[in-house]
Structure 1
Amino acid sequence: MNEFAFVEHEDRWTLGLRGLPVAKISVDYRLSLLLGTDAWVVLEGPCRLSQGAAGGDDRREMLDPQQQDVAAALALFGAKVVSAVAFKTGSLRLVFDNGLHLTCRADPSFEAWQLTGPGGWRFVSMPGGELAVWSGS
């Protein structure tokens, strides 16, 4: 059972999302992924979807939620999270059991992504490259 452990390190947060499947994908001006039943990843800025070791060069596609150019993200449906990291520079990296890697960098002008989880946890990539973190406690 996933305990949703969010652990702070010097340069990043390890997000306790391992094993959660992508249960829902929705698109408006954002790309939203429901992980399990309690965690939402909402992507508003351009992201890179890649496949291969460490996000390798085998296949790369840019996703642009504001243009609804996110069809490649459908390959994430049902995939389980292997690793989830929010960097204090505002970047997000999700790795899935089907070999896909989703990377979203901070944007200089707006919030590029956010993650909400159980217990009131919230991570937001702030404009200019900072990571804002709220906990339920």
Structure 2
Amino acid sequence: MSESAFAEHEDRWILGLRGLTVTKISVDYQLSFLLESDAWVVLEGPCRLAQGSAAGDVPQEMLDPQRQDVAAALALFGAKVMSAVAFKTGSLRLVFDNGLHLNCRADPSFEAWQVTGPGGWRLVSMPGGELAVWTGSEATKAGEDG
């Protein structure tokens, strides 16, 4: 397996996006990032964009795709993904080579985000924080016994 392989761990999924560059940003009622290799990150709920670590008094911007309040996300164009993690609580964390961190939490009522990646896998943050996970042709729910 390569360093950027899609892999499940006890409390999270490592998404196979490491090293991929943001090549397109789209805005409607969602904020979408196209990455190399036809990978997509689609944000439907509010997210935090921070410079450096999300801890402490670092500058943070709230992104709200529903209101098209996402101008700060333009700084991600051309950035390379250094880390991409989907937590089994429904949160998503992306770290970029320009020092920006994108953090999205699960929404109690709606799908907050979804990511599709190389090889056909897909994760969706379901209402309330459960992850729906598709690996190849089989759909599974993260955390369920198979």
TM-score tier (shorter): over 0.9
Q: Aligned residues, how many? A: 135
Q: Deviations over 1:82-136 (max 9, x none)?
A: 0000000000000000000000000000000000112221100000011110011
Letter in 2 for 1:28: D
- Which position in structure 1 is the counterpart of 2:122? 122
- Which position in structure 2 is the counterpart of 1:55? 54
Partner Cα distance (1:3, 1:9) in 2: 15
TM-aligned CA deviation for residue 45 of structure 1: 0.1
Letter in 1 for 2:105: R
Percentage of matched positions with identical amino acids:
83
Output aligned runs, 1:17-28, within 5 Å. 17-28=17-28
Q: Give runs of ≥4 in structure 1 deviating > 6 Å.
A: none
CA RMSD of aligned residues (A): 1.3
Partner Cα distance (1:62, 1:25) in 2: 17
TM-aligned CA deviation for residue 3 of structure 1: 7.4
TM-aligned CA deviation for residue 4 of structure 1: 5.2
Partner Cα distance (1:55, 1:18) in 2: 19
Q: Matched residue of 2:75: which SS?
A: helix
Structure 2 runs not aligned, ≥5 long: 138-146
On the 8 A contact 1:51/1:101 being kept in 2, the answer is: yes
Q: Matched residue of 1:55: which SS?
A: coil
- Which position in structure 1 is the counterpart of 2:37? 37
Structure 1 runs not aligned, ≥5 long: none
Normalised by the length of structure 2, the TM-score is: 0.88
Partner Cα distance (2:4, 2:59) in 1: 30
